[in-house]
Structure 1
């Protein structure tokens, strides 16, 4: 049969008569093609009108002039994930310890900064460092303790340079770690922040010497600048006097200097020593008074002599308990944290150990009290991958950095820059007044900033590289972990060190994961209503 071509008026301009003629033509074509009776076919298949796809009709096709009125379907992303599985994210994979449940995808969420950094896919992390921010009772401490404790089975070591509240002591004792108590009534432990530390592997003697000298200078400068905050900054001549005193102490002690030796060089300088100039006596006055606090002041006997304890590289967890010192003053707390962090840095900055370590910095802003401390901190963060270290900086809120320097100062700007540059971020519940800081300082989207105001305890917004997740860390906690990591009970019943240490292996037959908790997971809401995510059954 010869093909017939119809000149059809565009769909929107057909009259009723023309539409009737089209239906009749379609019927004749169908009858001619399959030889069926038109009446019978019309009874079985109602005639269809031409549709809006364009002019002309192809054999065997139909057009419909009626607009299809399909009502929109509304559902949450939790339900849609069951209908269309491809809209659910596959998480970060299964490498590393389990940390919780991804509430968007309803899958277990594993996290290991080292595995993610070595990842060659799009979900690779750009650094191993983690910034943790959460208000009081938001679950941040319990989550980080959970991550660190579960990471022990993967061969990672956990180091806490300054446990200002004594919360990590009970955890270290439970896992068989090392606890170094500083400043307590029943301890005489002393740390030398000017320790040389282990020999650096793979570098020349000259390079190793420069690294050690720079670290010692940075420690002294940070301690002095933290004490004279609010006064004029150290002048070039004051820096010269401090550096000379340090070099002289290194010489007379055969490379075993202490703060006491540096202080003595400033108090009674050897005028015949190499490099000494008469004006150094006056220019070293402020440094002399600051270091005297360590020798004969409220910090006496803690950091003024050689170390009486050694870092145990084989211990699964090493905690420096400084809780006895943090009741003295805020300045004493800052000086203590600078000294303990410097001592830890000296003993773990050796690649030959081939050990990956979490370095947990509670009240992390205290390590950034001065410009010199900030520069040292920034350099240490950059070298974290080199040394196999993951720095976990824990804050209550972004405005904690307001304690660093004056408003608009170089110090405060640098502190916010360091926090913003940390690629991995765990954002727990925040107070309402922090919403602006989250968007302005951390560059969070407005939706995520609002979400952080309503998160429940143990639920956090995780930024890993270019991806984000909502994770419930407490959904997979065992009773042993809840008893060990809960800090509220320590506040109610006394110091954490007074509480009985839970057994490392529970006596009960409790499963590794609390299945009932998994069943109670609250559904993930639609992304347009993210502010309701914090509502739990």
Structure 2
């Protein structure tokens, strides 16, 4: 049986007709609607009556018996499917992210949502997130420097402070100025001076005697790092004793003058063989000979290519309340990598001495171009000590390198240097990897424990897009830059 459908549509009334014509059209529309309703009612009377809905087979409480799945009694046979089938059956599953608390980074490409990150907020809340330290690696031109600077700039809005103890390219000075911070430039002919043997103000919770011992231990660690870097070897037991005796002699001489000791005082004490023998007591006649190489090594910091920068009283005071402080070492970026590394050691020691206050708030310490440090075990030991203290001091350390294989240049497999470099990686709960060259994928996968899918993604990441490994969880994030940040962070200005 065929059924008719009747409908009426309101007529279109042009704007150029008068009121009488509009009234006539409305009347015709009303008559058409009445005829359509009459025709629809006649068809409804001819249609058969709809069948009643059948009664429910089971009561409202559900199906009784063992098949009801109550109490986990439902037993179904195992079923296997491929990942292709599973992705079609569950097409909308994605990583839930790290939550909304933290610094906005960009867009999570898998979840198509915002990606935020805050190591201090994640600590203790995310399983496996054991420390706030971060490793950032990527080839040149992929945006890793922009990410580090953006992370630092946006952290200030959360009340965090940022310290860059070594800026080999001078790229952080503009960021510090934009945040109202301070940048100290060091180099030949510049007026800036830093005394790496400065003692930080004593925290109120630490007794005077205990604090003096801590200051002395830090100074010895610094002197040992400098000596190892210049000599290119580990120190002998007698040389450790020489540094110990020379530091005490230099500190006593400086205290008598009412000032902190200088590296020049240490160099003078090391060159004073009879004085060392006299102070050595039972080792008289032997310390003077052991100090010969150390005296020449320390002389480079006082009279060599670094003269005038670290052997004078500091011209700048460390302001713990400054939003950002960077030390510009771009004047030392020549072919001699050792001079730059020595300067980085002294500058970082001066800054780290003021970071020991556990009530100083949450702070970022960013080691840019950290790949330069990998060939110097003494510096790796200093960084490892800083990494271990990060949780107690409220410090998040960020290490910026080019390739993951830079960690392998620290030494041969099984050596102390290689163990220190890999230890730094292990103490970073967050690893951000930008695009890697094809020949570097094997090293990256081995060091980070990447899956085959993650390894393949590394070689195809576009600019500003990185693989984030946070406590074992993986994200592919597109870093988003504000136009003002893009202009401030532009490191390719000279190429345009």
Q: Given the two structures, how large is their TM-score scaled by the length of structure 1?
A: 0.72
Determine whether 1:224 maps to 2:237. Answer: no
User: Does the CA contact (< 8 Å) of 2:405 and 2:444 recur in 1?
Assistant: no
Counterparts of residues 173-192 of structure 1 (less than 5 Å)? 173-183=177-187, 185=189, 187-192=190-195
Distance 1:368 1:194 in 2: 24
Give the secondary structure class of the aligned counterpart of 2:285.
coil
In 2, the alpha carbon distance for the partners of 1:308 and 1:291 equals 22
Structure 2 contact 246–269 (Cα < 8 Å) conserved: yes
Give the structure 1 partner of residue 382 of structure 2: 376
SS of equivalent to 1:451: helix
User: What's the counterpart of residue 211 of structure 1?
Assistant: 214
Partner Cα separation in structure 2 for residue 487 and residue 442 of structure 1: 28
SS at match of 1:390: strand
Question: Does the CA-based 8 Å contact 1:338-1:367 persist in structure 2?
Answer: no
User: Match of 1:251?
Assistant: 252
Structure 2: stretches of 5+ with no match in the other structure? 1-66, 68-80
Structure 1: state its 5+ residue gaps: 1-57, 59-70, 494-537
Indicate if the aligned counterparts of 2:280 and 2:287 stay in contact, CA closer than 8 A: no
Structure 1 residues 235 and 271 mapped into 2: Cα distance closer, same or farther (>3 Å)?
A: closer
RMSD, aligned α-carbons: 2.4
Residue number in structure 2 paired with 1:429: 435
Cα displacement string for residues 358-401 of structure 1 (whole angstroms, at most 9, x for unaligned residues): 10101224445443433332121011111111000000012223
Change (3 A) 1:365 1:213: farther
Going from structure 1 to structure 2, the CA distance change for 1:73 and 1:181 (only over 3 Å counts) comes to closer
The alpha-carbon deviation at position 108 of structure 1 amounts to 0.4
User: Residue 167 of structure 1 is aligned with which of 168, 171, 181?
Assistant: 171
How far apart, CA to CA, are the structure 1 residues paired with 2:83 and 2:438? 34
Secondary structure of 2:338 counterpart: helix
Larger radius of gyration between Structure 1 and Structure 2: 2
Q: Deviations over 1:445-474 (max 9, x none)?
A: 232122111111111111111311111013
Q: Which residue of structure 1 aligns with residue 134 of structure 2?
A: 130
Q: How does 1:351-362 map to 2 (within 5 A)?
A: 351-353=358-360, 355-362=361-368
Q: How many pairs were matched up?
A: 411
Contact 1:337–1:366 (CA under 8 A) maintained in structure 2: no
Cα deviation, residue 408, structure 1:
4.7
Matches within 5 A, 1:268-347: 268-269=272-273, 270=275, 274-275=279-280, 277-327=284-334, 329-347=336-354
| DSSP 3-state at the match of 1:167 | coil
**Residues 199 and 301 (structure 1), Cα distance of their counterparts in 2 relative to 1, 3 Å cut:** same
- TM value normalised by structure 2: 0.78
Within 1, Cα distance between the matches of 2:82 and 2:449? 34
- The answer to whether the 8 Å contact 2:220/2:244 transfers is yes
Distance in 1, matches of 2:215 and 2:226, equals: 17
Deviation at 1:195, TM superposition (A): 1.2
Aligned equivalents of 1:389 and 1:145: distance in 2?
17
Q: In structure 1, which of residues 153, 156, 167 is the aligned counterpart of residue 157 of structure 2?
A: 153
